[in-house]
Amino acid sequence: MDTADEGRQQLDAASVLNAKSTLLQLLARAGVYTGDAEELIGLVEAGALALAHTEISGLGRSAPAEQGEPYASGWSDGALAVTEELGALAERALVHAVTSGPSASAPDERSPVGRAEMERAKVAVTPLYLSFADVSDLDPEVTEQVLGAVLRTMNPRQRAGYPGRLSAFASAHQGHFERLYAEYGPGSAIAIHGRYSLVHSPTSVAVLERLAATPAELREEWDAAELPPAWLDGLTTAWGSPA
């Protein structure tokens, strides 16, 4: 059969559900809890809709000029309606993903940090850190404790978009990060143990972003987690020291 005769190739609902169920089964065999897997898949679905909305919004297509003003006006109104509905679908998908998973009950209220949220944070901070510094030798348990305090300053919806926020923060302060890790991080004269310990950890990227965005909330969660105040103070001092 010539696929050119079939028109556009699109997956039907049954095929999409089959692919999702297959992925859930494969992840379950790999030891991924079903609730975590569903949350991650939901975020991918919401992200696909959001990216489609962004792409369509930026196309800037216009109606054929020869059709006249009434046609162009209808074209514009129709395109706007479709674009707005796609954006609304993306928003609803995101809310569904962060409220139906195991880590949250409401998208705009703080909740305990779920395992998938913790793993997403690790995946986000590690490559950013390694773009500035060498591999960290800090205890992995410390990493989870610190990231837990960071993530508890946000609600589930904010945690879902945190990787993008981290990336933007690191890009905006690239020179500052390069100086920080060169002077205080791995390979420098500063020891891994002491008040500058966090500069030797990927979590430092996330902590610095929270210090810039929500310092009071971070310090509150930091104290609640009984993390060493000297770590936070040392990172703050190193970040603010002159180049």
Closest by Cα among 123, 38, 52 to 86: 52
Report in angstroms the alpha-carbon separations of 85 from 43, 48, 64, 94, 201. Answer: 18, 14, 23, 14, 42
Of the candidates 89, 157, 170, which has an alpha carbon nearest to the alpha carbon of residue 117?
A: 157
Locate tokens 């390694």: which residue?
A: 130
DSSP state for residue 199 in the 8-state scheme: G
Q: Quick check: 115 and 148 in contact, CB under 8 A?
A: no
- In angstroms, the CA 39 to CA 96 distance is 9
Q: Say what percent of the chain tops pLDDT 90.
A: 37
Average pLDDT over residues 121-134: 91
pLDDT, one tens digit per residue, over 166-195 is 999 999 999 999 999 999 988 888 877 788
Listed residue (84, 103, 127, 83) closest to 43, CA to CA: 103
% of the chain residues with pLDDT over 70: 84
Report which residue type is found at 175.
G
Report the chain's mean pLDDT, rounded to a whole number.
83
Segment 212-229 shows an average pLDDT of 95
Q: Average pLDDT, stretch 87-110?
A: 70
The pLDDT score that the predictor gives to residue 14 is 78
Per-residue pLDDT tens for 2-26?
544 456 677 778 777 878 888 888 8
Q: Which of 39-43, 74-78, 189-193, 205-209 has the highest mean pLDDT?
A: 205-209
Nearest residue to 93 (alpha-carbon basis) of 36, 152, 34, 53? 53
- For the chain, how big is the Rg over CA atoms in Å? 23
* Phi, psi dihedral angles at 101 (to 5 degrees): -80, 180
pLDDT value at 225 more than 70: yes
Amino acid 1: pLDDT: 42
150/81 Cα distance (integer angstroms): 38
Where is pLDDT greater, at 194 or 210? 210
Distance of alpha carbon 222 from alpha carbon 169, whole angstroms: 21
